[in-house]
Amino acid sequence: MTTAMPSTAIVVSEPVFTDAERVALAGFLAGYSGLTREAYALDLRQFASWCEEHHVHLFEARRADIECFGRDLEERGRARATVARRLCTVAGFYRYAVEEELLEHSPAVHVRRPRLDYESHVTGLDRNELGALLVAAGLELLSSTPSSRCSPSTGCGSQKRPVPTSRRSASNADIEPSRLCVKAARSRK
């Protein structure tokens, strides 16, 4: 029967970050609070982990390393907005290190970020479809009497445009949603 002898050997591990890197990380994150700080901390943790896996110290990283980090995120299926945000966080971290004179030059200055489409892809009704929907639902415009007009605070304004009475005319109408005032038909008991 063999018994295991406890080892008293000391394992020396190399610190993950240099003192300057640690100061830069702490200082950069200290400038933020709440959810922003948490998001930036996550981004930097992921970048630091990537650097450690590829045997690159934070302050020895080059532009190509940062771009490889971004491409790695894309290969893992991260959204373009997520990749862009993480690369912006890394660029902000290096900019902070340069401003604090902890680093001579930022390797992230000219890092390419994914292009983002700023146009919304949310499906919604356009003004013609809204008019047709209102007609189909049996809703009527407020009458033109001053007491029944929408107030300026509702965004309806004082001018009204008639809602088309047929689906065909609804598709050709020029109705501005911000000027459309609608009064729902009251149900009678």
The alpha carbons of the chain give a radius of gyration, in whole angstroms, of: 30
pLDDT at 158: 45
Burial of 83 (0-12, 13-18, 19+ CB in 10 A): buried
Q: Which of 22-31, 56-65, 84-93, 141-150 has the lowest mean pLDDT?
A: 141-150
Return the higher-pLDDT residue of 56 and 16.
56
pLDDT at 7: 65
**CB 24, CB 100: distance < 8 Å:** yes
- How many angstroms from the chain centroid is the CA of residue 3? 57
CA atoms within 13 A on the CB side of 71: 8
Give Dmax over CA atoms of the chain in angstroms. 102
The answer, yes or no, to whether residue 161 has pLDDT greater than 90, is no
174: which residues sit within 8 A by CB, 6+ positions away?
A: 127, 161
Both tokens of 78, joined, read 């991260």
pTM of the predicted protein model? 0.56
pLDDT over 90 for what percent of the chain? Answer: 44
The answer, yes or no, to whether residue 171 has pLDDT greater than 70, is no
140 φ, ψ (degrees, to nearest 5): -120, 155
The answer, yes or no, to whether residue 151 has pLDDT greater than 70, is no
Return the higher-pLDDT residue of 6 and 149.
6
When pLDDT is cut at 50, 70 and 90, the band that residue 132 belongs to is confident
Strand partners, 141: 182
